[in-house]
Amino acid sequence: MTLTVDRLRVIYRDGDHGILALDEVSLVLEPGRCLALVGESGSGKTTLGMACMGLLPESAEVRGRILLSGQELDTADEAAMNRVRWSDLSMVFQNGAANLNPLHRIVDQVAEPLIHQGNMGRRPALDRAAEALVSVGLEPHLHRRYPHQLSGGQVQRALLAMAGVLDPAVLILDEPTSALDALSKGIVARVIREAVARGKAVLLITHDLEFAVHQADHMAVLYLGQVLETLPPEDLLSRPLHPYTLALGRSYPSMDTVRDLGGIRGDAFYRLVHRHGTENGEHSVHSHIQIPGSSHRDGHAPPTGCLFQNRCTQAVPACSSGRIPLEEVEGHGVRCLRHGIVNLMELHNVTKAYDNVPAVKGVDLEIKAGEILALVGETGSGKTTLAMTAAGALRQDQGQRFFDGQDMDGWIARDYRSLARRVGVIYQNPSESVSHRFTVFDAVAEPLRIHGFGKNRSERTDQVRRVLSDVHLSTDPAFLERYPHELNMGAIQRVCLARALVLSPVFLAADEPTSSLDPSVQAKVMKLLLELQTERGLTMLFVTHDIGLARKISDRIAVMLAGRIVELGPASAIMKDPRHPYTRLLLESASGRHVEPRIGESDAGDVDGCAFAPRCPSRLDRCLTERPLLQPQSGRKVACHASGPAE
Amino acid sequence: MHINRKEVLRDPWFVAGLCLALAFGFVALLGPALAPYDPWNMGFEPIASPDSRHLLGVNDGGQDILSELLYAVRNTVAFGLLSGLAALGLGVAAGLAAGWYGGPVDAFLMRLADVLLAVPAVMVLILAAALFRPEPWVLALLLAVFAWPTISKTIRAQTLSLRTSLHVKAAVRMGASGRYILRRHLLPEMFPLYLIGFAAKARMAMFMEASLAFLGLFDPSRKSLGMMISYALKFYYMDIWWHWLMPPVLCLSLLIMGVTFLAVGLEKVLDPRLRTVTGEPV
């Protein structure tokens, strides 16, 4: 049987206003497939499950249709719903124990649907129930216990047995793994696999992304009652197209993630709708997005446009109007005006030399909006040159740069300052990047002065204070009059960070921002940087020679050697399984192991072959004569003859 | 940039320089009012030793030496200030232009500076003064024309190094205009250089004024320290040195010392890195 949800809209009424829990959600649950519904709490996942079961409270207003095998379900008709519940459509509820009757033994409760819906006798029903319980790993001695005598995980499994006992065609699992340890999750996984194998349709509602990735055939990402992205599960963590999906994945402690958890900027809201000027109970389109509490600095979100716009890393003014449709983009369904995550920065074949000494030799690099890309490599590999070219501080000799989809060189020629406002730079040497005649105030207010922001000193002081408190520095007048050389390195770097952020850029190029700091200060500054990246939705190009640091902060890593990128891919993939011998060397050196450099015949000049060949332990003959190109390989790009896919 | 008054006033160089400069500035400003007599009045008994009416005695022309001295200081200070400021203005403008724009501008200005440096200013001034008998202020400006190259060389060098310094690059990257860089970065950054340059040139100009006067190249009726020394020296065999020769020599020396001390003291104060840090680092 196929369960179809067609433009389902659910509003929890409370007097004249209500909370919009589901907003025109359409889903199809096909037999033999598992659809996973993921999203933050409050996104309406459970409401959807409950709506399918016809179990929404009286106060809920339901619009749209739910069809089971083409037959529309009248969810308000208790009798009709009772006929399909358990036998055709069943659900494993969240909060296990609350859904069981504390006065009955579990085996009796599991047998109950068999007796009432399946018209089975009591004895065979109890036998079937016992079988079902054993199949979810509950030993017979537990069967005659009462719910309160079981652990949370055991109750959860009992509910699973109960939902499957009548062999329903559609199984809805609401957070089935939240009360389970990692090993017990295996049982849920087996139940899902078996159900799918037997042609059942499974709806898996969960916030456990990794579990969903492994069990589901398809996924839908729900946010504030709207489906923002539908995608194949394997793309969820590695190739999300909606900024929300990316942020969700970054917040999840997956076993592959090496980066520190990022979170999503801002808070989730819930949507309040008002009934005014309505006909036939039609809801006003002017729904408010209400923020619980009022801690969020952006205040009320605009009522129209993309729901995620306030927390998005690539929102443009157009995102705040109209209704964004779910579009097909690269095999995903994406509800985004910009057709998924955009490349904020694109470099095409960028080449830069200083007086005929090449520093960057034809680099292609894309930086996605909202991500942190770490550029690692040894000194002299061209990292800083590349980063400064990306930031617009240097001009490439050849190649093209694009910022936010626009040709950067044209933009620079036309109106450099408007580009400069969007790009912040943190330099390697914080104390040199501020004039020693500047006080803390002068240093942080400099960008404001240059761009003519803030009419007078007091207005600028307010802005300076705000950004200083963002970087956790003192804002008292005495501190504002201090000189950088009177501060410690950590504080100077924070001042530089404040300087880079005071114009609210969208892109931050950080050149070894912490290499001059000792580890404890570095840790604090990095944590601050990550926090600001999340809260401000910054896109970052992070230059570092420390691959260990890159591992903790970056989404993707680009390994640079002699002006070229030799390996580029997700930080997790590169850390787990470095493919280029140079990356391996960097990783080994970073872990403190002494690496004996192999002295090559020639290590200088722009040789024809791979720049690493002279030092490479796995060198092939052609490495010296033929330069390897960046080729896609196991989820990343590698430029190496020796590590190519097995031939 | 602000100057911490307490800190400045603790610096002995600055305090000494300030006292001298204030004293001479006071004299220069109020000289005519302070002078007990008209310095051109030749009605007193010539070559008289000091007494209560003539504190420094009377010269060979029957003029009151103290009154003469007060007018002379005024002239010397004015000449030094004018020439020093003009040289500073020219030097800073040329140095900044050469350093910031580079290329042909730099080449032209620096070759010009080299040519001017090779010309002995003293000779030019002596010739100009002897041939054309110009007003003193013309000579002061003429001196400035030969004095700016050394200032412009240091300013240019500093501009070149500032141009590549990270904080200027950072400001340029932020989109700062040339005017902003000039006003916020280059000009304040080089403040000590102006003081040093100005002090050196003002010093030189005062000395030059005294020399020209000593050689008698100014209008003889114009009061000048150099001229006073020159006249006094004619009577070296008499017992006049302590009240006639010494005062202008001392005045000239102290004036030059005062200017130098002030520059040294200010330089220490205005460069925050040379300051003693008070309080704990944050």
| Residue B86, pLDDT above cutoff 90 | yes
Phi, psi of A397 (to 5 degrees): -80, -40
What's the average model confidence in pLDDT over A534-550? 86
Higher pLDDT, B116 or A181: B116
3-state secondary structure of A98: helix
pLDDT tens profile A111-124: 888 888 777 888 88
| Residue A94, pLDDT above cutoff 70 | yes
pLDDT for residue B224: 84
Higher pLDDT, B95 or B10: B95
| Residue B191, pLDDT above cutoff 70 | yes
Rg, C-alpha atoms of chain B: 22
The chain B residue lying nearest A485, using CA atoms, is: B273
Would you say how long chain B is, in residues?
A: 282
Q: How far apart are CA B239 and CA B148, in angstroms?
A: 42
Q: How far apart are CA A131 and CA A380, in angstroms?
A: 68
pLDDT category at B187 given cuts 50, 70, 90 is confident
- For chain A, percent of residues with pLDDT exceeding 70: 89
Is the CB of B184 less than 8 angstroms away from the CB of A449?
yes
Interface test with B, best of A354, A433, A508 (most B CBs within 10 A): A433
pLDDT for residue A35: 92
pLDDT for residue B264: 79
Lowest mean pLDDT among A12-26, A273-287, B111-125: A273-287
pLDDT category at B270 given cuts 50, 70, 90 is low
Lowest mean pLDDT among A12-16, A252-256, A325-329, B260-264: A252-256
pLDDT for residue A279: 40
SS (H, E, C) A515-526: CCCCHHHHHHHH
* Cβ–Cβ under 8 Å, residues A224 and A245: no
Q: In the structure encoding, which two tokens stand for residue B95, read together? A: 């140095």
Phi, psi of A289 (to 5 degrees): -105, 110
Is the CB of A437 less than 8 angstroms away from the CB of B180?
no
Burial class of residue A420, CB neighbours in 10 A (0-12, 13-18, 19+): buried
Cα B195 to chain centroid, rounded: 10
Q: Which domains are delineated in chain A?
A: 4-67+213-341 (3.40.50.300), 343-558 (3.40.50.300)
Which sign, positive or negative, has the C-alpha torsion B191, B194, B200, B203? negative
Higher pLDDT, A12 or A300: A12
pLDDT for residue B181: 86
Lowest mean pLDDT among A21-35, A493-507, B49-63: B49-63
Higher pLDDT, A594 or B76: B76
CB atoms within 10 A of CB A485: 14
Residue type, A633: Q
For residue B166, list chain A residues with Cβ-Cβ distance below 8 A: 427, 429, 432-433
Dihedral of the CA atoms A263, A267, A270, A276 (nearest 10)? -140
Check CB contact of B282 with chain A, cutoff 8 Å: yes
Pick from A391, A434, A479: which is nearest to B282 by CB?
Answer: A479
pLDDT category at A220 given cuts 50, 70, 90 is very high
Is the CB of A491 less than 8 angstroms away from the CB of B184?
no
For residue A450, list chain B residues with Cβ-Cβ distance below 8 A: 171, 174-177, 180
Pairing, β A218-223 against β A226-231 = antiparallel
pLDDT for residue A285: 43
Distance from CA of B175 to the nearest CA of A (A): 5
Residue A60's beta-bridge partner residues?
Answer: A12
| Residue A257, pLDDT above cutoff 80 | no
pLDDT for residue A263: 67
pLDDT for residue A270: 63
CB atoms within 10 A of CB B251: 22
Would you say how long chain A is, in residues?
A: 647
Is the CB of A433 less than 8 angstroms away from the CB of B167?
yes
Lowest mean pLDDT among A213-217, A291-295, B18-22: A291-295
What's the average model confidence in pLDDT over A6-29? 84
| Residue A511, pLDDT above cutoff 80 | yes
Q: At what angle do helices A152-164 and A106-116 cross, to 10 degrees?
A: 20
Q: In the structure encoding, which two tokens stand for residue A480, read together? A: 């504002």
| Residue B79, pLDDT above cutoff 80 | yes
Pick from B175, B188, B272: which is nearest to A420 by CB?
Answer: B175
* Cβ–Cβ under 8 Å, residues A553 and A522: no
3-state secondary structure of A315: coil
* Cβ–Cβ under 8 Å, residues A497 and A509: no
**B26-37+53-274 falls under which CATH superfamily?**
MetI-like (1.10.3720.10)
Q: How far apart are CA B173 and CA A426, in angstroms?
A: 11
pLDDT for residue B269: 66
pLDDT category at A55 given cuts 50, 70, 90 is confident
pLDDT for residue A43: 82
pLDDT tens profile B145-186: 888 888 888 888 888 888 888 888 888 888 888 888 888 888
pLDDT tens profile B199-226: 888 888 888 888 888 888 887 778 888 8
CA distances from B224 to A242, A321, A458, B67 (A): 85, 82, 53, 11
What's the average model confidence in pLDDT over A50-75? 84
pLDDT tens profile B49-68: 777 777 777 777 777 878 88
CB atoms within 10 A of CB A591: 10
pLDDT for residue B89: 92
What would you measure as the largest C-alpha separation in chain B, in angstroms?
74
Residue A402's beta-bridge partner residues?
Answer: A346, A407
Query: Kind and range of the H or E element at B112?
Result: helix B103-118
What's the average model confidence in pLDDT over A355-362? 83
Q: How far apart are CA A150 and CA B222, in angstroms?
A: 115
pLDDT for residue A377: 85
Complex ipTM over 0.95: no
pLDDT for residue A267: 66
| Residue A233, pLDDT above cutoff 80 | yes
- DSSP 8-state assignment for residue B64: B
pLDDT tens profile B96-153: 888 888 889 889 999 999 999 888 888 888 888 888 888 888 888 988 888 888 888 8
pLDDT category at A278 given cuts 50, 70, 90 is very low
pLDDT tens profile B234-245: 777 777 777 777
